A and B are shown apart, each in its own frame.
Chain A
Amino acid sequence: MNKRKILIILENKPGALARVVGLFHQRGYNIASLHVDAVEDVSQYSWLENNLSINLKPNEVSEMTISTTVSDTLLTQILRQINKLIDVLYAEEKI
Chain B
Amino acid sequence: MQALHEESVDLIFGYPGGAALHVYDAVFRQDKIEHILVRHEQGATHAADGYARSTGKPGVVLVTSGPGATNAVTGIATAFMDSIPMVVLSCQVASHLIGTDAFQETDMIGISRPIVKHSFSIENPNEIPRVIKEAFHIATTGRQGPVVIDIPKDMTAPDKKFNYDYPSEVDIRSYKPPVAPSDKQVQRAVDAILASEKPVLYAGGGAISSNASSELIELNKILRAPVTNTLMGLGVYPASDPYFLGMLGMHGTYQANMAMHNADLIIAIGARFDDRITNTPSLFAPNAKIIHLDIDYSSVSKIIEANIALFGEVKNSLNKIISKLNDGSNNHNPEKFIPWLNKIAEWKALHGLNHDLYLDQTDNNMILPQQVVQHVYQETEGNAFVTSDVGQHQMFAAQYYHFDEPRKWINSGSMGTMGFGLPAAMGVKLAHPKEEVVCITGEGSIQMCIQELSTCLQYNLPIKIININNEALGMVKQWQDMNYGGRHSESTYQNSLPNFVELARSFGHEGIKIEKNSDLKEGLRKAFSLKDKLVFVDIYVDPSEHVYPMLVAPNGSLKDIWLGKDKKA
Residue of B nearest to A76 (CB): B301
Question: Are B302's CB and A26's CB within 8 A?
Answer: no
Known: A10-B174, A15-B119. A22 touches B113 (CB 8 A): yes
Bitwise interface map of B from 417 to 432 toward A, beta carbon under 8 Å scored 1, else 0: 0000000000000000
Q: Knowing A11-B174, A14-B121, A86-B118, say if A80 contacts B298 (CB, 8 Å).
A: yes
Give the chain B neighbours of A95 by CB distance below 8 A: none
Bound-state CA distance A83–B174 (Å) is: 9
Are A86 and B117 touching (Cβ within 8 A)? yes
Q: Are B121 and A15 in contact (CB under 8 A)?
A: yes
B86-103: CB near A (< 8 Å → 1, else 0) gives: 000000000000000000
Within 8 Å of chain A (Cβ to Cβ): is B297?
Answer: yes
CB distance from A31 to the nearest CB of B (A): 16
Q: Is B449 an interface residue (CB 8 A)?
A: no
CB within 8 A of B114: which of A14, A22, A80? A22
Q: Is the CB of A86 within 8 A of B172?
A: yes
Number of interface residues of A (CB under 8 A): 21
A86 contacts B109, C-beta separation under 8 Å: no
Is residue A87 contacting chain B, with contact meaning CB distance below 8 A? yes
A26 vs B121: C-alpha distance in the bound complex, in angstroms? Answer: 22
Residue of A nearest to B120 (CB): A15
Assembled-state Cα–Cα distance A80/B298 (Å) = 5
Q: B286-341: which have CB < 8 Å to A?
A: 296-298, 301-302, 305
A54 and B173 within 8 A (CB)? yes
Which residue from A14, A54, A77 sits with its C-beta under 8 Å from B298? A77
Partner of A84 from the list B110, B298, B301 (CB cut-off 8 Å) is B298
With the chains together, A10 CA to B118 CA distance in Å? 14
B493 within 8 A of partner (CB): no
B175 at the binding interface (Cβ < 8 Å): yes
Quick check: B173 and A77 within 8 Å, CB to CB?
Answer: no
How far does the Cβ of B244 sit from chain A's closest Cβ, in whole Å? Answer: 32
Q: Mark contacts of A61-93 with chain B using CB atoms, 8 A cut-off: 1 yes-contact digit, 0 otherwise.
A: 000000000000100110011011011110000
**Range of interface residues on B (Cβ < 8 Å):** 10 to 19
If A14-B121, A77-B302, A81-B298 touch, whether A87 touches B109 (CB-CB below 8 Å) is no
Q: Which residue of B lies closest to A84 (CB)?
A: B298
| Closest residue of B by beta carbon distance from A11 | B174
Chain A residues whose CB sits within 8 angstroms of the CB of B301 once the complex forms: 73, 76-77
Known: A73-B301, A83-B297. A89 touches B117 (CB 8 A): no
Hey, what's the 0/1 contact readout for A41-74 against B, CB within 8 Å counting as 1? 0000000000010100000000000000000010
Among the listed A18, A52, A54, A77, which residue makes an inter-chain contact with B113, where contact means beta carbons less than 8 Å apart? A18
User: Contacts A15-B109, A19-B113; is A84 near B297 (CB within 8 Å)?
Assistant: yes
CB neighbors of A among B186-238 (8 A): none
Q: Is the CB of A80 within 8 A of B121?
A: no
From known contacts A15-B119, A22-B114, A86-B138, infer whether A80 and B172 are also in contact, taking CB-CB under 8 Å: no
A58 to B117, CA, bound (A): 28
- Contacting A at CB under 8 A, from B468-524, are none
Interface contact B114-A26, CB-CB below 8 Å: yes
User: How many A-B contacts are there with CB distance less than 8 Å?
Assistant: 39
Closest residue on chain B to residue A10 by CB atoms = B174
Question: A11 to B174, alpha carbons, bound, how many Å?
Answer: 8
Closest-by-CB residue of B relative to A9 is B174
For residue B173, which residues in chain A have a CB less than 8 angstroms away from its CB? 52, 54, 89
The chain B residue with its CB closest to the CB of A22 is B113
Complex Cα spacing A87 to B117, Å: 11
Partner of A88, one of B109, B113, B174, B298: B174
Q: Which residue of B lies closest to A80 (CB)?
A: B298
Q: How far is the CA of A15 from the CA of B110 in the complex (A)?
A: 9
For residue A22, which residues in chain B have a CB less than 8 angstroms away from its CB? 113-114
- Closest B-chain residue to A53, C-beta based? B173
**How far, in whole Å, are A73 and B303 apart by their CA atoms in the complex?**
10
The CA of A69 and the CA of B173, in the complex, are separated in Å by: 30
Per the bound structure, the CA–CA distance linking A31 and B109 in Å amounts to 23
Q: Separation in Å of the B172 CB from the closest CB of chain A?
A: 7
CA separation between A73 and B305, bound complex, in Å?
9
B164-176 interface mask toward A, CB cutoff 8 Å, 1 = contact, 0 = none?
A: 0000000011110
Q: Smallest CB-CB separation from B172: which chain A residue?
A: A86
> Which residues of chain A are within 8 angstroms of B118 by Cβ–Cβ distance?
86
Residues of A within 8 A of B174 (CB): 10-11, 86-89
Bound together, the chains give a CA A10 to CA B172 distance in angstroms of 12
Sample of 7 further A-B pairs with CB below 8 A, known A80-B298, A84-B297: A15-B121, A18-B110, A18-B113, A77-B298, A77-B301, A77-B302, A81-B298
The 7 closest A-B pairs by CB, nearest first: A80-B298, A86-B118, A80-B297, A89-B174, A26-B114, A54-B173, A86-B175
**16 pairs from A and B in contact (CB 8 Å cutoff):** A10-B174, A11-B174, A15-B113, A15-B119, A18-B110, A22-B113, A22-B114, A26-B114, A52-B173, A54-B173, A73-B305, A76-B301, A81-B298, A86-B118, A86-B138, A87-B174
